[in-house]
Structure 1
């Protein structure tokens, strides 16, 4: 291939921003990449450049005078649906995002200031996605041409027909591989996008990766079909995308402590998440699972008050995983539960909040995914204060409902201490679950050590 031919095949990327320093930053970052760069200082100039020459990808700022990024990308999509687009913005404006996705068919949404590696990866994936789409169309066109040729062959050309049939089968296999790769790229993209959602949250309240791990383990344990498992994995990655529109005060608050106005805003996020994703056809089924993941088994959930098996199975599974992780992050109750307390909470509300047929399998999976959970230790069991006997050894720290540490792990319970715990429960109108080892098993473990 000649040098001029190679240059003609290089992707062309149009960068649009009304701030010159931003364009300069992008130029420096993207210098030396295997694609050609063209700059535009606004929507009008971008459309003039787009009219004069084709582009493979447009990276546009969202907020610009005259014509905003969402309007620009919508117009570019109307003129050239094959052109990929990435939206950059420093504002968490959910309506802008929805408009850009629905009308501009954007490939990615990145917040400013961007992470250099993330932006480079997004551009590389967008161009790779476009190349795969064009290759798929080329292969489809090739298949159509071959089918036309097959229809014209004479019956006397049986050997040629057999050879052509073999070639068509090979082409079909290539198409299947291309489609599989596209499906995998959507799963990967959703997980990458989930990291953007986490940027709105403190590190200790970032839940997506843990929920993805649990959901994948559940899907594997239940031998779910590949397409259903893929949809459920994408739902786990993007279940809280609708929370991007919430104020920070609601975003990090325990759901059970919200006042009525905040609770009303909070309860909109599953439906908002669905709305954002419905413009992307491969995410339709995942979006439906997200819409219903806050429904409750007894019908008291939201947004549609579904009950029992009317709730999609994937949504019931996602509800378990989300609550298990968010209980430990302090996003449900005022006090953060440890892992064992979270499992006990879920077991307590079996048949009310959760599908009772999933509970036992879910606990088994959580023990496997999180091997340090105390309930995985056969020598440890949960008891209430009325079941305590002198000599038992506390296996986990005991906290009051307000978070205060009452007893340290390893404490040997005496008769006097047990009476004080019972009296304290009565004063506080509380009920505590303790994780203990019996005297015999505790002594046996010490002897082994």
Structure 2
């Protein structure tokens, strides 16, 4: 069975489109036995300006190729009745000009080799794919097909022109004879030109002297330009320092705002920072990019920003005890959060993650009912981290869960609320945190040293985070702490990580945090 799911759509006007299609409208056929995969591919490629065709099997794909002119085929590896190798081999034999791409979720080297040898595929892409990677692969394949077609036309044109050149060569031979006669005349003219050349040499010598003087002036200008470049380099360094300070101030603003959210009745001091720290460690455990880790950390800090508009009695109420109307009102907070954060360009992806924090991989979450590949990985991480912290603080249920019971409750959501990869990262981080719980020491402020790393956050009496966990002390911050302590006349102490054994120091997987800190005056 085959279905033409999309025809032609105008190229996306968004300047951030991942890949711009070729000038001529290209036709792409996707073949996969899983409708959800076809649906995801349709949503990804529809805005790119291609004519998109879909088939739910190899036989349906061949039948569709009989009716439609197709430029590129993307086929799944494992399909019933006819697998991807067999299908692409027939495509190569019957329509050799079509570009062939293999989409596989299996690490099967023999099948991949078969697809390369028999189907002569352009490339293969592993599931789950990266949107940018598959868009670029398709664009590259279409470009390559177009270039090969143009090359064949150029070869044909070259052959025709060669025949014409042979005829022209005969005419040129006749012209050469005439040119020999003209050369004799030119020799006479050359003798006359010798006299002219002598005069030109005198003029060139005079011009050379003028150029030498100009070169001296240029050398002086180059010296001045070098000095200007040095000033620009210094200005660039100052600009980079200012940009770094802006980045630190932005992160500090988010941290302070997260603390302000927890000043309302019913909030638990430090909840947002604990969720953010746990989520960041899970993201790092999964080797996500630095940008993704930052977006997820910010989402953890601000995941409850949408609750700022909820009434106090609702914030003070455990979720499991809410009435139907109260829960419907509560369910709106992810949408309110996204609406509040979207105007901030730096937080747009963070806003998307926060909106989807209550979605589930089985599609039974809210507010949009996302499922499978539609659900952002960062949203799953925030959902696990926030649920765990809420269970152990009694915010989600009537009782306060122990760490072990909360971890067991999280595992019950495997396959319905979160993917296996997210669960594995959570289990690993939880074990690391348990091992780290006894791996810190309490140090008075007068014994602080540069390079010491906080093992626990430093909170104000109102629950605001003054110094986050994993903050590395620097001499200016230590001086600031000592000055503040002297003004108050009250000693402070801090929990810092025990120094590592030099032999094992190189085995540390993640660097300590050097994010900006709230001033002691906060």
With the length of structure 2 as denominator, give the TM-score of the two structures: 0.39
Larger radius of gyration between Structure 1 and Structure 2: 2
- Relative to the length of structure 1, the TM-score reads 0.45
